[in-house]
Amino acid sequence: VTLRILVAGQGAWGRALAGLARSAGCKVETWVRGQVVPPGRFAGMIVAVPAQAVRAVLAIMAGLDCDTIILAAKGIENGSQLLMPDVARLVFPLGRILVLSGPSFADDVAKGLPTAVTLAADSMKDAAAWAQILSQSNFRIYASDDVRGVALGGALKNVLAIASGISDGKGLGESARAALTARGFAELRRLGLAMGARSETLMGLSGLGDLLLTCGGGQSRNYSLGFRLGSGQSLQSALAAARGVVEGALTAHVAHELAHVHQVDMPIVAAVAGIIHKGLVPDQAIAELLDRPVGPEID
Amino acid sequence: VTLRILVAGQGAWGRALAGLARSAGCKVETWVRGQVVPPGRFAGMIVAVPAQAVRAVLAIMAGLDCDTIILAAKGIENGSQLLMPDVARLVFPLGRILVLSGPSFADDVAKGLPTAVTLAADSMKDAAAWAQILSQSNFRIYASDDVRGVALGGALKNVLAIASGISDGKGLGESARAALTARGFAELRRLGLAMGARSETLMGLSGLGDLLLTCGGGQSRNYSLGFRLGSGQSLQSALAAARGVVEGALTAHVAHELAHVHQVDMPIVAAVAGIIHKGLVPDQAIAELLDRPVGPEID
The per-residue pLDDT for range A43-56, each reduced to its tens digit, is 999 999 999 999 99
Which among A143, A185, A296 has CB closest to B143? Answer: A296
Q: B295 falls in which pLDDT band (50, 70, 90)?
A: low
The per-residue pLDDT for range B210-264, each reduced to its tens digit, is 999 999 876 889 999 999 999 999 999 999 999 888 999 999 999 999 999 999 9
Quick check: A8 pLDDT over 80?
yes
* Distance, CA of A63 to chain centre: 26
* CA nearest to B188 within chain A: A203
Quick check: A123 pLDDT over 70?
yes
Quick check: A299 pLDDT over 60?
no
Which among A172, A205, A299 has CB closest to B114? Answer: A172
Task: Give Cβ neighbours of residue B289 (< 8 Å, ≥ 6 apart).
Answer: B267, B268, B271
* CA nearest to A136 within chain B: B294
Q: Give the number of beta-carbon pairs within 8 Å between A and B.
A: 189
Mutate to test the interface with B, among A142, A212, A292 (most CBs of B within 10 A): A212
Which among B104, B177, B297 has CB closest to A118? Answer: B297
SS3 B30: strand
Inter-chain residue contact A143 with B219, CB threshold 8 Å: no
Report the gap between the CA of A210 and the closest CA in chain B (Å). 7
Report the gap between the CA of A50 and the closest CA in chain B (Å). 20
| A11, A210, A72, A52: CA torsion to nearest 10 | -80
Report the gap between the CA of A206 and the closest CA in chain B (Å). 9
Mean pLDDT of B114-122: 96
Quick check: B145 pLDDT over 60?
yes
Long-range Cβ pairs for the range A261-266 (8 Å, 24+): A261/A81, A262/A191, A262/A194, A262/A195, A263/A194, A264/A187, A264/A190, A264/A191, A264/A194, A265/A187, A265/A190, A266/A187, A266/A190, A266/A191
Report the gap between the CA of B175 and the closest CA in chain A (Å). 5
The per-residue pLDDT for range B180-222, each reduced to its tens digit, is 999 999 999 999 999 999 999 999 999 999 999 999 876 889 9
Quick check: A106 pLDDT over 70?
yes
Quick check: A142 pLDDT over 70?
yes
Is residue B46 within a helix (H) or strand (E), and if so which, with residue range? strand B44-47
Which among B179, B185, B205 has CB closest to A116? Answer: B179
* CA nearest to A220 within chain B: B174
| Amino acid occupying residue B39 | P
Catalytic residues of A: 157
* Total Cβ atoms within 10 A of residue A257: 14
> Contact at 8 Å (CB) between A48 and A9?
yes
Inter-chain residue contact A209 with B141, CB threshold 8 Å: no
Q: Return the percentage of chain A with pLDDT > 70, whole number.
A: 97
Inter-chain residue contact A175 with B203, CB threshold 8 Å: no
Inter-chain residue contact A210 with B173, CB threshold 8 Å: no
Write out the DSSP string of chain A. Answer: -PPEEEEE--SHHHHHHHHHHHHTT-EEEEE-TTSPPPPSB-SEEEE-S-GGGHHHHHHHGGGSB--EEEE----B-TTT--BHHHHHHHH-TTSEEEEEESS--HHHHHTT--EEEEEE-SSHHHHHHHHHHH-BTTEEEEEES-HHHHHHHHHHHHHHHHHHHHHHHTT--HHHHHHHHHHHHHHHHHHHHHTT--HHHHTSIIIIIHHHHHHH-TT-HHHHHHHHHHTT--HHHHHHH-SS--HHHHHHHHHHHHHHHTT---HHHHHHHHHHHS---HHHHHHHHHTSPP-B---
Mean pLDDT of A226-241: 94
ipTM: 0.92
> Contact at 8 Å (CB) between A168 and A225?
no
Inter-chain residue contact B205 with A179, CB threshold 8 Å: yes
Rounded CA-CA distance A122/A149 in Å is 11
Inter-chain residue contact A114 with B298, CB threshold 8 Å: no
| A281, A283, A288, A294: CA torsion to nearest 10 | 160
| Amino acid B294: pLDDT | 62
Residue B2 bridge partners (DSSP):
none
Mean pLDDT of B78-87: 96
Quick check: A292 pLDDT over 80?
no
Rounded CA-CA distance B102/A274 in Å is 28
> Contact at 8 Å (CB) between B33 and B11?
no
Catalytic residues of B: 157
The per-residue pLDDT for range A163-221, each reduced to its tens digit, is 999 999 999 999 999 999 999 999 999 999 999 999 999 999 999 999 999 998 768 89
Q: What is the CA radius of gyration of chain A?
A: 19
| Amino acid B283: pLDDT | 86
Rounded CA-CA distance B207/A246 in Å is 30
| Amino acid B293: pLDDT | 63
Report the gap between the CA of B26 and the closest CA in chain A (Å). 19
Mean pLDDT of B59-67: 94
Quick check: A91 pLDDT over 60?
yes
Q: Which residues of A touch B173 (CB under 8 A)?
A: 105, 108, 111, 113-115
Long-range Cβ pairs for the range B276-284 (8 Å, 24+): B276/B162, B276/B235, B276/B249, B276/B252, B277/B252, B277/B253, B279/B235, B282/B166, B282/B169, B282/B170, B282/B229, B282/B230, B283/B170
Inter-chain residue contact B185 with A200, CB threshold 8 Å: no
Q: Which residues of B touch A294 (CB under 8 A)?
A: 131-132, 135, 140-142
Write down the mean pLDDT value for chain A: 94
Q: A75 falls in which pLDDT band (50, 70, 90)?
A: very high
Quick check: A298 pLDDT over 70?
no
Rounded CA-CA distance B254/A281 in Å is 48
Rounded CA-CA distance B9/A111 in Å is 46
Half-sphere exposure of B293 (CA within 13 A, CB side): 4
| Amino acid B298: pLDDT | 60
Mean pLDDT of A81-98: 96
Rounded CA-CA distance A18/B47 in Å is 55
| Amino acid occupying residue A28 | V
> Contact at 8 Å (CB) between B161 and A178?
no
| Amino acid occupying residue B219 | Q
| Amino acid A286: pLDDT | 82
Q: Which residues of B touch A128 (CB under 8 A)?
A: 295-296
